[in-house]
Amino acid sequence: MSDRLTIAFVGTGVMGAAMAGHLMDAGHRLVVFNRTKDKAGRLLERGAQWADSAGEAAASADVTITIVGYPGDVEAVYLGTGGIVERAREGALLIDMTTSTPTLAVRIAEAASARGVLALDAPVSGGDVGAREATLTIMAGGTAEAFERALPLFEVMGRTYTHAGGPGTGQHTKMANQIGIAGTMLGLVEALQYAKAAGLDLERTHAALSGGGANSWSWGAYGPRILSGDFAPGFFVKHFVKDLRIAIDEARDLGIELPGLELAERLYARLQEADGAELGTQALWLLYERGGQDEGGPR
């Protein structure tokens, strides 16, 4: 690939807009599509070109990158009539950075290969902060050739990049990541709930534990947001519920039981049902504040 590429970017939401902006900063030409055009406004003001569909964007691109909401959205933009796989140019590279299912990632890779196109499943971790600061962790599944071609772009958007293996392994790695996050978010919220019940100063407690074994990425990134009452989404509850349900399904297919994961899914599902779908994952705190984590408590 030449140094300056035409990149189709599909999905310019909380994370995608920042990621696409970094690619523009690196000198690449952008063609963008999003279901809500307003969310691409800043990119368009900077000179990005608008496309009326994901397939139209891909038709003119060396590389197509997607970060959309749900597996159904991924399937539609890639495999639907007039979609990305159908309209991508021979030799193009397709990179799906949505958290989706490993099975769908394999299907996309097979369909792309049949048309002489390379595909990677490359979900990310790091939330809105990681997207803004270009410090995302990127977990890629696909051929070594596809990964090597994508690496210069990953270096623009992230800090850590791993080639996990063949198609679908990026999504499996992301499932492991989400399982780990679910546990640390429960630990963060319950630790602060305990400190509150014990009459401790929460900011002082958080600072003290930040230097000990309880510290984690979630502790540092989301603890201060909880303490300041900031529950705006860096990563939506509704998307986390989707991820946890994918992880549960995959675990069952693998023949393993993960009760901690299943507990986290139940709690986040209750938060979602209690008008929390559009909040950030740190809003789990609010469920505990309302007593909704108990089986018999308010929903």
- Site of tokens 């407690």: 205
182 and 148 fall within a common domain: no
Count of structural domains, the chain: 2
Report the CATH number at residue 186: 1.10.1040.10
**Shared domain check, 182 and 148:** no
18 & 144 share domain: yes
Q: 242: domain range?
A: 172-289
Domain membership of residue 205 (yes or no) is yes
Q: How many Å separate Cα 71 from the centre of its chain?
A: 12
Distance CA 154, CA 23 (A): 10
In the chain, which ranges are E strands?
A: 6-10, 29-33, 49-50, 63-66, 93-96, 118-121, 124-125, 136-141, 158-165
150 and 30 assigned to the same domain: yes
Q: Are 153 and 138 in contact (CB under 8 A)?
A: no
The residues annotated as belonging to the active site are: 174
Q: For residue 294, tell me if it sits in a domain.
A: no
Statement to judge: residues 137 and 210 lie in one domain: no
The answer to whether 105 and 96 are in contact (CB under 8 A) is yes
Within 8 A by CB and 6+ apart from 293, the residues are: 267, 270, 287
Asked if 232 and 98 sit in the same domain, the reply is no
pLDDT tens by residue, the chain, 299 residues: 448 999 999 999 989 999 999 999 999 999 999 999 999 999 999 999 999 999 999 999 999 999 999 999 999 999 999 999 999 999 999 999 999 999 999 999 999 999 999 999 999 999 889 999 999 999 999 999 999 999 999 999 999 999 999 999 999 999 999 999 999 999 999 999 999 999 999 999 999 999 999 999 999 999 999 999 999 998 899 999 999 999 999 999 999 999 999 999 999 999 999 999 999 999 999 999 999 776 544 33
Domain identity same for 197 and 257: yes
Residues 6+ apart with CB under 8 A from 199: none
Query: Does 252 share its domain with 115?
Result: no
